[in-house]
Amino acid sequence: MSTITRPGVKAGPSLTARLLASQRFSNLTIFGLLVAIIVFFTVVTPSGTFFSNYNLTSIALAGSQLLILSAGVTFLLIAAGLDLSVGAVVVFSSVLAAKLMLGLTSGLAGTAQGGAELWLPILAGVGAGVVTGAAWGLVNGMLVVKSKIPSFIVTLATSTIILGLAQVWTGGMNVSGVPQALTDAFGMGTLLGVPWPVVTAAAVTGLLWVVLARTRFGLRTYAIGANPEAARRAGINVDRHLLAIYCMVGLLAGLVGMIDISRFSTASVSGYANIALQSITAVIIGGTSLWGGRGKMSGTVVGAFIPATLTSGFVIMNLQPFWQNVAVGCVLIFAVFVDQYRRRAMNVT
């Protein structure tokens, strides 16, 4: 029996192999990478430009929308799902909310100004935008769960449909004229010096972090991604669980749409073409396995801020910010390499 209880009788895997294979290592690497990027830019830029309160705040602001989406997508990837439609949902929710606010305020004088009578239309628009996002998420979830078509294909299709509907509705034009009061109070507003969108992102991510790491819902998310059949046999309602995750991701996309119109006063029809892939990238860079069952919110937080940090640094260095894309792609390949290595190391033992 002792041969079973001690598996390391044969020569164990090398130290590097074991390092690469450990979850803690990959979380540390990616965190170390972000720290290295920050240190690098701090050193090579004039003092007080990159590592300043102002610049760090703008990085946080620039990354906040991606972070919110990525926090939800973390659940989805851990459950071995995928959602390519979040960008389309952001656009649809923004358009719907903007149109609703415009319609409800059209009778009022001085739409562009702030005013107490504007708050009802604003809240109605925001509420409708978020609920619509959740509804699209539910549609995605239903299609994935019922049709058994891979989530990649389902959400690729719904992405086109949802964006197409938004384009038809607006004739492909942005919807401007979102009440200035929303921008003043939220989009450009701050809480103790921290922009409201950043506060929102921190709150949402913190909440989802706790849910993933500490609750039964989180634990079952890992189980479903690791072995859905095992989860089913254990009496877990896998379909309902997946439905809840897709619905949550849709809701977060709606929320991101609301942050967007509050920051830019306009519902953008073309602005979110890449965010679905960017969120998946951020989550995978953060160490979540593309094959499900494994991942951490801490990694996602780091992964979501790497693009904004790089962009800011390159801009301050007077380099083209597009270098950010090149760098993120390289980091992505490295992250997936580590993930694959870890999976292989597991299967060997």
Vertex 332: Cα angle to 327 and 334 (nearest 5) = 100
Examine residue 80 and tell whether it contacts other proteins (CB under 8 A). no
- Rank residues 107 and 229 by Cβ distance to other proteins and give the closer one: 229
Residues 195-214 that bind other proteins (CB under 8 A): 214
- Rank residues 112 and 346 by Cβ distance to other proteins and give the closer one: 346
- Rank residues 198 and 224 by Cβ distance to other proteins and give the closer one: 224
Examine residue 293 and tell whether it contacts other proteins (CB under 8 A). yes
Judge contact between 341 and 20, C-beta under 8 A. Answer: yes
**One of 37, 226, 316, 332 touching other proteins (CB under 8 A):** 226
Examine residue 217 and tell whether it contacts other proteins (CB under 8 A). yes
What lies within 8 Å, CB to CB, of 102 at 6+ separation is 111, 175, 177, 178
**One of 3, 14, 47, 318 touching other proteins (CB under 8 A):** 3
- Which residue, chain included where needed, has tokens 């649809």? 92
Task: Tell which residue, 253, 252, 243, has the closest CA to residue 144.
Answer: 243
Examine residue 53 and tell whether it contacts other proteins (CB under 8 A). no
- Rank residues 106 and 215 by Cβ distance to other proteins and give the closer one: 215
**Least spacing, CB of residue 214 vs other proteins, in Å:** 5
Q: Which of 4-12, 148-156, 243-251, 258-266 is the region at the interface with other proteins (rule: CB under 8 A)? A: 4-12
Number of residues that make up the chain? 349
**Least spacing, CB of residue 341 vs other proteins, in Å:** 14
Task: Tell which residue, 94, 101, 177, 176, has the closest CA to residue 129.
Answer: 94
Examine residue 349 and tell whether it contacts other proteins (CB under 8 A). yes
**One of 35, 149, 219, 330 touching other proteins (CB under 8 A):** 219
Residues 232-251 that bind other proteins (CB under 8 A): 233-236
C-alpha to C-alpha distance for 43 and 46, rounded to whole angstroms: 8
Encode 73-98: b = buried (16+ Cβ within 10 Å), e = exposed. Answer: bbbbbbbbbbbbbbbbbbbbbbbbbb
- Rank residues 260 and 339 by Cβ distance to other proteins and give the closer one: 339
Tokens of 227: 């072995």
Examine residue 43 and tell whether it contacts other proteins (CB under 8 A). no
- Which residue, chain included where needed, has tokens 């990085």? 59
Say which amino acid occupies 280: I
C-alpha to C-alpha distance for 72 and 290, rounded to whole angstroms: 15
**One of 1, 11, 109, 192 touching other proteins (CB under 8 A):** 1
Residues 294-313 that bind other proteins (CB under 8 A): 294
- Rank residues 231 and 302 by Cβ distance to other proteins and give the closer one: 231
- Rank residues 52 and 340 by Cβ distance to other proteins and give the closer one: 340
| Total interface residues for other proteins by CB under 8 A | 30
The CA distances from residue 192 to 203, 204, 296, in Å, are: 15, 18, 29
**One of 50, 222, 246, 272 touching other proteins (CB under 8 A):** 222
Burial class (CB in 10 A: 0-12, 13-18, 19+), 132: buried
Task: Tell which residue, 65, 55, 60, has the closest CA to residue 278.
Answer: 65
The SS3 assignment for 261 reads: helix
Examine residue 10 and tell whether it contacts other proteins (CB under 8 A). no
**One of 35, 230, 319, 330 touching other proteins (CB under 8 A):** 230
Task: Tell which residue, 66, 4, 112, has the closest CA to residue 280.
Answer: 66
Q: Which helix (H) or strand (E) holds 302?
A: helix 297-316
Task: Tell which residue, 1, 16, 17, 2, has the closest CA to residue 349.
Answer: 17
Examine residue 231 and tell whether it contacts other proteins (CB under 8 A). yes
Residues at the site binding other proteins, with contacts judged by CB under 8 A: 1, 3-8, 214-217, 219-220, 222-223, 225-227, 229-231, 233-236, 293-294, 346-347, 349
